[in-house]
């Protein structure tokens, strides 16, 4: 917590500073997975609700290029999940959450990033895995493996929340979890005494390419 408080104070002091080019994720989508959107939505709702999040899915998908995009939001719309599909099969999924708060406010709001990380990245990954392997494939060993494979992205998130230079420049990382390329971006901006922090995650099919640029 001391590191986060120091970060908040430093951000306010550097409010007029310029922001360098951010590290971002670059995705080259592959072929659709064998996970259907109906299976994905069913298990995502189940996993998210266990974490205390209630998502509402839009009734009809929107169109983005060649993809049908299914969107779910929380009651506050602070966290948005998008699932990109072709032929009703998942190609990749994203999650994005943004927090804006005053430097003098309770920095406990930042703990939401940890929750969003799990609800979006981990749950999307597990749902695609279930859609391809079946719910019976989710064993204790699979859970342990997922936790271990998520560690590089957990470190990316921690660095983004506690390192001023990294946050202002933008932090991004990739890892392969349960065979699926996964990525995380964290960035921050300052407007006067207000701080805005954004987290974006991406989980793709196994033959997609996800890199940091």
> What pLDDT, on a 0 to 100 scale, did the predictor assign at position 114?
81
Contact at 8 Å (CB) between 36 and 88?
A: yes
Q: Is 8 exposed, middle or buried (0-12, 13-18, 19+ CB in 10 A)?
A: buried
> What pLDDT, on a 0 to 100 scale, did the predictor assign at position 10?
37
Looking up tokens 């298990």 gives 43
| Euclidean distance between CA atoms 58 and 73, whole angstroms | 8
Cβ neighbours around 95 below 10 Å, total: 23
| Euclidean distance between CA atoms 122 and 114, whole angstroms | 11
> What pLDDT, on a 0 to 100 scale, did the predictor assign at position 162?
73
- The alpha carbon of 102 is separated from its chain's Cα centroid by a whole number of angstroms, namely 23
**Every domain of the chain and the residues it spans:** 2-208
Q: pTM value? A: 0.85
Cβ neighbours around 49 below 10 Å, total: 11
> What pLDDT, on a 0 to 100 scale, did the predictor assign at position 104?
66
Q: What does each of the 213 residues of the chain score in pLDDT, given as a tens digit?
A: 344 334 333 333 333 333 334 578 999 999 999 999 999 999 999 999 988 889 999 999 999 999 999 999 988 778 999 999 999 999 999 999 988 877 666 566 667 778 888 899 999 999 999 999 999 999 999 999 999 999 999 888 887 777 766 777 788 999 999 999 999 998 888 777 777 888 899 999 999 999 998
Question: Phi and psi (nearest 5°) for 101?
Answer: -150, 155
> What pLDDT, on a 0 to 100 scale, did the predictor assign at position 108?
65
Helical spans, DSSP H, in the chain = 2-13, 37-50, 111-116, 123-133, 140-162, 164-169
Angstrom distances, CA of residue 88 to CA of 44, 92, 102, 158: 16, 12, 42, 35
């Amino acid at each position: 917590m001391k590191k986060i408080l120091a970060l908040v104070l430093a951000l306010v002091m550097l409010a007029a500073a310029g922001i360098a080019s951010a590290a971002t994720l670059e995705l080259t989508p592959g072929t659709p997975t064998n996970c259907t959107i109906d299976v994905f939505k069913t298990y995502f709702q189940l996993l998210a609700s266990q974490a205390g999040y209630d998502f509402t899915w839009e009734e009809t998908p929107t169109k983005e290029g060649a993809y049908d995009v299914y969107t779910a939001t929380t009651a506050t719309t602070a966290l948005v999940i998008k699932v990109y599909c072709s032929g009703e099969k998942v190609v990749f999924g994203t999650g994005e959450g943004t927090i804006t708060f005053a430097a003098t406010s309770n920095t406990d709001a930042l703990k939401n990033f940890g929750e969003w990380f799990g609800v979006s990245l981990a749950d999307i990954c597990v749902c695609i895995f279930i859609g391809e392997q079946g719910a019976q494939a989710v064993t204790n060993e699979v859970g342990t493996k997922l936790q271990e494979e998520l560690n590089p992205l957990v470190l990316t998130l921690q660095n983004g929340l506690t390192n001023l230079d990294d946050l202002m420049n933008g932090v991004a990382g990739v890892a392969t979890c349960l065979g699926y390329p996964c990525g995380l971006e964290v960035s921050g901006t300052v407007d006067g005494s207000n701080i805005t922090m954004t987290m974006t995650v991406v989980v793709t099919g196994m033959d997609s390419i996800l890199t940091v640029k």
